[in-house]
């Protein structure tokens, strides 16, 4: 199964993600979840980015928070149209955390 996980909160407990099993995992950062794409925890990137997954961050949410220039290289910045393409072409199921 190919699973897309929407993360909308910065205070996500990554243990939830550890329990999800998929042959392909995509993590789409939206709303306050985009802080994972840029925020540093004691000088290190967010622990979420240590997962084996493809990472995406919504460009509008990054721009709204003034974070567009500081996105981690593991994260691909995408538009709303790109999210629709991912949902219909790349992933079988979608989950919102």
Helix segments in 3-58, DSSP class H: 15-18
| pLDDT tens digits, one per residue of 43-70 | 778 888 888 899 999 999 999 999 988 8
Set out the domains of the chain in order of their start, with CATH numbers.
2-9+21-96 (3.40.1260.10)
- Higher pLDDT: 81 or 97? It is 81
- Tens-place pLDDT, residues 66-83: 998 889 999 999 999 999
Q: How far is CA 68 from CA 25, 58, 60, in A?
A: 24, 10, 9
Q: Is 21's pLDDT higher than 70?
A: yes
């Amino acid at each position: 199964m190919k699973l897309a996980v929407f993360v909308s909160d910065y205070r996500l407990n990554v243990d939830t993600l550890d329990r999800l099993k998929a042959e392909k995992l995509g993590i789409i950062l939206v709303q306050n979840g985009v802080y994972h794409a840029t925020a540093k925890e004691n000088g290190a990137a967010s622990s979420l980015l240590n997962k084996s997954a493809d990472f995406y961050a919504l460009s509008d949410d990054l721009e709204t928070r003034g974070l567009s220039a500081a996105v981690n290289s593991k994260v691909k910045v995408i538009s709303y149209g790109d999210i629709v393409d991912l949902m219909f072409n790349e992933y079988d199921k979608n989950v919102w955390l």
